[in-house]
Chains A and B, each alone.
Chain A
Amino acid sequence: MDFDLTDEQRLLADSVGRLMGDAYGSLEKRRAHAAEPHGWSERVWAQYAELGLLGLPFAERHGGFGGGAVELMIVMEAFGRGLALEPYLATVVLGGGLLRLAGSEAKQARLVPRVADGSLKLAFAHGEAQARYDLDDVATTARRAGDGWRLDGAKSVVLHGDCADLLVVSARTGGERRDRDGITLFLVEAGVPGVSRRGYPTQDGQRAAEILLEGVELTPDAVLGPVGGAAAPIRLAVDAALAALSAEAVGAMDALHALTLEYLKTRKQFGVTIGSFQVLQHRAVDMVVAIEQARSMAMYATMMAGTPEGHAAVAGAKVQVNRSARFVGQQSIQLHGGIGMTMEYLAGHYFKRLTIIESLFGDTEHHLREVTASGGLLGDLPSGSGLAK
């Protein structure tokens, strides 16, 4: 049991931290990136590729860097601190995760190098209007057409779905709308006939898209993973994404708290710094406590995701991270007073990102139900303890 980073991991943290400092050191820089055509910076994306971040979690034999969940956690935490805009989660964690979990050797060998060099952006087109947070709720259909497939349906709020070159689309090839079995993944070039996309900004300054699939013709090779058996890899990829988002939230909370602390030490009212007021001191401490609990659970999720108890662990982490994020976000705004309300100041942007992270892939209530359904995180009294009634 240890929580130390290896030397290589520390190095990674340092270099991503530096990159974030350079690329995102100020609100002006972030605004400039957001003003680019896709709402994020191609130049910064190229820097991610250079640093090896885009190939991070893929196997070396496919052209990746063989990093694990801890490496991903390090990167996401830095992105959270920097409030980065690039489609990393969509491309590397979600799309890339599905590619890794469900893709054949051949597919990975073909696609990973292009993801790693930054030329191929992915998005996971899964959510639908009626599904809310139910991962099994898929109404989009894929029907056999000749020796290939034809896709029909509508995907909603697809993260960075507007800029993706290749979509990982879930569709039903069997079973009823909410069945676990019968879901299949397809790789769909964004530009093929029948795919139409409407991109839009999201509340946190990122981007998403509504994607319409109307008679999209696909070759047999478009299938990713087993036909009808995508529920398991989807669950795993989403769990990995939740662990990554937890880490991102921790990074954002860290930065937001530092900003708030700085303000408490400089802003003066009644002739003293406001940080000398005990009620604000205690609030700041409660924020630290909330952040440390979230950090612990983000680490827990990172280390547990993918193991048999991983799903409950990840869901538990999301509950804690969400609660901490809401408290830290709201209190940061409150402790800043009016300045916290302006678009011209960073705090509000962290607050907005944290708020959006809360709802991504399941809100607090959803994940509390998940933990409950899995029997909790603690288990029962050990038999033979002599304490059972």
Chain B
Amino acid sequence: MGMFDGIAGFGVTFSTMFKKVVTEEYPLVKKVTAPRYHGRHQLNRHPDGLEKCVGCELCAWACPADAIYVEGGDNTPEARYSPGERYGAIYQINYLRCIGCGLCIEACPTRSLTMTNEYELADDDRQDLIYTKEMLLAPLLPGMEQPPHPMRLGDDEQDYYVQGPEMARQGREQAGEHDLDTDNRAGANVEPGAALVGKGPLAKRGSPEASGATGEGRS
């Protein structure tokens, strides 16, 4: 029995004291996810606020977990929600079912559906985990207008797809955002609303515009 035997057992303890801490201080400190983390979905908007979703249900078709429910609707001159004829009248994602695979993002023909980095998807009520269209829609940024409203970017939907990306880039530059990710795969957001939430530092979540997009602001 040596004299250090009494403290030898603390060797691991002491050595660990000088290593990097692995403990997550969640929820006091929130984890920064990888930029393409598959978090909560978001339904994006055109630069004038019209919805990109056309209610085509391809996301629902692609979903291997049957987590998405969509019903299309008819845009009328009086009530227009998206450019073109069709919009998503009912849109629901059931986060009890979603496995975060991102196949829906791949399927979306208008890049309406993207994923944010928001991962706090737990609740004590099953009903609350079925997110509705209002909860999933991207927040209105400056220059956007709550639909229904007429098409502001052109006479038909073509103009939205031709001019839309350019206008969105201008909007982002004004907002001081940089498009870090030009390879737009699942989870990478080029949408103005998504850019704020998906790639900004965590501190940004406190900003008033962003809170709506994280789902915290749902009421």
Q: Do A and B bind each other?
A: no
Query: B: which residues have CB within 8 A of A?
Result: none
